[in-house]
Amino acid sequence: MTKKKIALIMGGYTGEAVVSEKSAAVVAQHLDRDRYEVYPLHIYPGNWYLEDEDGTQWPVDKNAFTVEIKGAKVAFDGIFNIIHGSPGEDGKLAGYFDMLGIPYTTCDALTSSITMNKGYTKAILEGIPDLYMARSLQLFANGPEAASKVLAQLKLPYFVKPNNGGSSIGMSKVKTAEELEEALNKAFQEDKQVLVEEFVTGREFSIGIYKTDGKVTVLPSTEIISSKEFFDFEAKYIPGVSEEITPGRMEEREVERVKQIAETVYLKLNCKGSVRMDYFLEMETGNFYFIEINTVPGQTETSLISQQVRATGKTLKEFYTELIEEMWA
């Protein structure tokens, strides 16, 4: 069997590049080398390169997304995309690969760009049975009137977050009116659009979803118990700051309900590959509240998707093979 050449792309143009490199190291360990030749490609502003085993860097020809190594040109059969944030998660690279006719493991350009925008995503998912949205306001500019608009329209406490950010960078929980301005400034440093949401009192969960052979699979959810106010950057990436329970503690009927919701969300957004949906289970009502969707979720050993795949009895090698083979389905 001729091995397929897979470009494992990592890095990116945001602060999440460090997480992407860690995810890529795990993916590289678990890819099936009997089936695939794996080429690690790093994508940074002005510097796209393949790094071989001895550390030599070979530049990527962006006209065709090929690499010339020691006089031999390498073209790729498919792309395993593990770039969190821009340009891997926001649709820019997806559009580029579409134009070149190279398949990839993640959502298409339109879905990727829409799901990067938390406000637009919520607007599309509005109306899914059993899925609730926290009341929110999308701000397109910062200034003295921004805070007063929020205070007039929404009830405290709030979550303030960059609309297009990932990894919870620039996010704050605001309990009093006095804290709002600083939180808005922090979020606007990360993004030109900011989302302010009313706080939902509930338990936080995250659930992985992917598609193979035309069938959507919903993984067991993970319950996140953070020692921080919310599941922020530290809670996500520093061991011991949060406790994660997979499968999360839910009643059987809640498990069934969230499976249905997750599959509907995946199909309504026309997702591809593996995505992760974060949600709250509200304390008093048992309602499911949508938080956000990640279309290039982390794949480090401790990442939620990795835990959820293992909970089904499947190996990461089998999981990644399914994601890769789906590119050509």
Contact 17, 87 (CB under 8 A): no
| Domain match, 185 and 94 both | no
| Domain match, 84 and 156 both | no
Q: Which of 73, 71, 90 is nearest to 81 (CA)?
A: 90
Domain for residue 277, yes or no?
Answer: no
| Domain match, 10 and 80 both | yes
The Cα 173–Cα 199 span in angstroms is 8
Mean pLDDT of 152-174: 81
Domain for residue 224, yes or no?
Answer: no
Domain for residue 191, yes or no?
Answer: yes
Last residue of a domain, one of 88, 105, 122: 105
Domain for residue 150, yes or no?
Answer: yes
Q: What CATH number has the domain bearing residue 155?
A: 3.30.1490.20
Mean pLDDT of 202-208: 95
Give Cβ neighbours of residue 208 (< 8 Å, ≥ 6 apart). 218, 219, 274, 275, 276, 297, 304, 305, 308, 309
How many Å from the N-terminal Cα to the C-terminal Cα in the chain? 18
| Domain match, 31 and 74 both | yes
**pLDDT given for residue 170 in this prediction:** 81
- Which pLDDT band holds residue 232 (cuts at 50, 70, 90)? very low
Q: Report the b/e string of 12-36 with b at 16+ CB within 10 A.
A: bbbbbbebbbbbbbbbbebbeeebb
**pLDDT given for residue 14 in this prediction:** 87
Summarize pLDDT for 256-268 with one digit per residue, the tens.
Answer: 999 999 999 999 9
Give Cβ neighbours of residue 244 (< 8 Å, ≥ 6 apart). 222, 223, 224, 225, 304, 307
| Domain match, 148 and 92 both | no
Summarize pLDDT for 86-144 with one digit per residue, the tens.
Answer: 999 999 999 999 999 999 999 999 999 999 988 899 999 999 999 999 998 889 988 87
| Domain match, 101 and 29 both | yes
The Cα 328–Cα 150 span in angstroms is 47
Q: What CATH number has the domain bearing residue 88?
A: 3.40.50.20
**pLDDT given for residue 45 in this prediction:** 97
Environment class of residue 84 by beta-carbon count within 10 Å: exposed (0-12), middle (13-18) or buried (19+)? buried
| Domain match, 17 and 67 both | yes
- Which pLDDT band holds residue 162 (cuts at 50, 70, 90)? confident
The Cα 187–Cα 179 span in angstroms is 13
Sign of torsion over alpha carbons 6, 208, 26, 63: positive
Summarize pLDDT for 292-308 with one digit per residue, the tens.
Answer: 999 999 998 888 999 99
- Whether 231 has a pLDDT exceeding 50, the answer reads no
CA distances from 159 to 45, 187, 191, 201, 308 (A): 31, 11, 15, 12, 27
**pLDDT given for residue 166 in this prediction:** 52
Phi then psi for 246, rounded to 5 degrees? -125, 125
| Domain match, 149 and 65 both | no
Last residue of a domain, one of 105, 128, 158: 105
Domain for residue 88, yes or no?
Answer: yes
Domain range for residue 65? 4-105
Domain for residue 71, yes or no?
Answer: yes
- Whether 74 has a pLDDT exceeding 60, the answer reads yes
Mean pLDDT of 321-328: 96
Mean pLDDT of 36-59: 95
Name the domain count of the chain: 2
Domain for residue 292, yes or no?
Answer: no
Place of tokens 């009137």: 145
Last residue of a domain, one of 105, 128, 145: 105
59-273-203 Cα angle (round to 5)? 120
Give Cβ neighbours of residue 321 (< 8 Å, ≥ 6 apart). 31, 32, 35
Phi then psi for 160, rounded to 5 degrees? -115, 125
Domain for residue 155, yes or no?
Answer: yes
CA atoms within 13 Å, Cβ hemisphere of 75: 8
